[in-house]
Amino acid sequence: MNSAIRRTWFSLSLLVLPILGSCAENRTSEVQIGIVADVIDGDTVDLTIAGHSQRVRLIGIDTPETKHPEKPVQCFGPEATRFTASLLAKGTEVRIERDAEARDSYDRLLVYLFRTSDNLFVNLQIVQQGFARVLTIEPNTTYMGEFVTAARDARVNNRGLWNECQG
């Protein structure tokens, strides 16, 4: 490789490597375990993580509202909350996976949850069964493709809110 090409590669690496590093440092590679303390609504859960209480928001999904201070209870909201509670009974141990952005504007920890007993991907199961729509907020898009496919299947097969709610 001649010196001009080497200098170009070196210059590009100085630009690209810091960007890659900043993206990677926001994701947690360590496995975190939590215990379900309470299900707040279909996409919000209180967990105990390392002895501390944390309100978490399930990434990539949006269930109908049941407790929003400025919105009425939405169609299929209570059903979505009950479904999430059926997946995550109090005391259930979950593996926590995070994405690029750690918290939302309400200071909730943004997470993907997996039940440790059977490795059920909770966020995906809620969408597959028709209790949530897909909500993609960049940069947290790791499982976006799976969520879109699951939502399309739920809609085509009239599962959950896709059968009960218009619009």
Domain containing residue 37: CATH number: 2.40.50.90
Worst-scoring range by mean pLDDT, 26-30, 43-47, 85-89? Answer: 26-30
- Read off the pLDDT of each residue in 54-79 and give the average, rounded to a whole number: 91
Minimum mean pLDDT among 23-32, 34-43, 82-91: which range?
A: 23-32
Q: Which of 24, 51, 34 is nearest to 109 (CA)?
A: 34
**Residue 80 and residue 64 in contact, taking contact as beta carbons nearer than 8 Å:** yes
Mean pLDDT over all residues of the chain? 86
Least confident of 25-29, 104-108, 145-149: 25-29
Q: Taking residues 15-39, what's their average pLDDT?
A: 61
Q: What is the pLDDT of residue 167?
A: 56
Distance CA 49, CA 113 (A): 13
Is residue 57 annotated as part of the catalytic site, yes or no? yes
**Which residue in the list 65, 79, 97, 115 is annotated as catalytic?**
65
Average pLDDT over residues 87-104: 97
Question: Would 37 be classed as within a structural domain?
Answer: yes
Which of the following is catalytic: 79, 97, 98, 108? 108
Choice among 57, 98, 115, 159 that is catalytic: 57
Number of domains in the chain: 1
Top pLDDT among 146 and 6 is at 146
Q: Please state, in angstroms and rounded to a whole number, the distance separating the CA atoms of residues 166 and 154.
A: 14
| CB 77 within 8 Å of CB 67 | no
Per the domain annotation, does 12 fall within a domain? no
Q: Is residue 20 part of a domain?
A: no
For residue 73, what pLDDT band results from cuts at 50, 70 and 90?
Answer: confident
Q: Looking at the domain assignment, is residue 112 inside a domain? A: yes
Task: State the CB neighbour count (10 A cutoff) for residue 82.
Answer: 13
The percentage of the chain sitting over the pLDDT mark of 90, rounded to a whole number, equals: 71
% of the chain exceeding 70 in pLDDT: 81
Q: What pLDDT shows up at residue 58? A: 98
152 is catalytic: no
Range of the domain at 138: 30-164
pLDDT at position 8 over 70: no
Please check the confidence at residue 127 and state whether its pLDDT lies above 60. yes
Whether 119 maps to a domain, the answer reads: yes
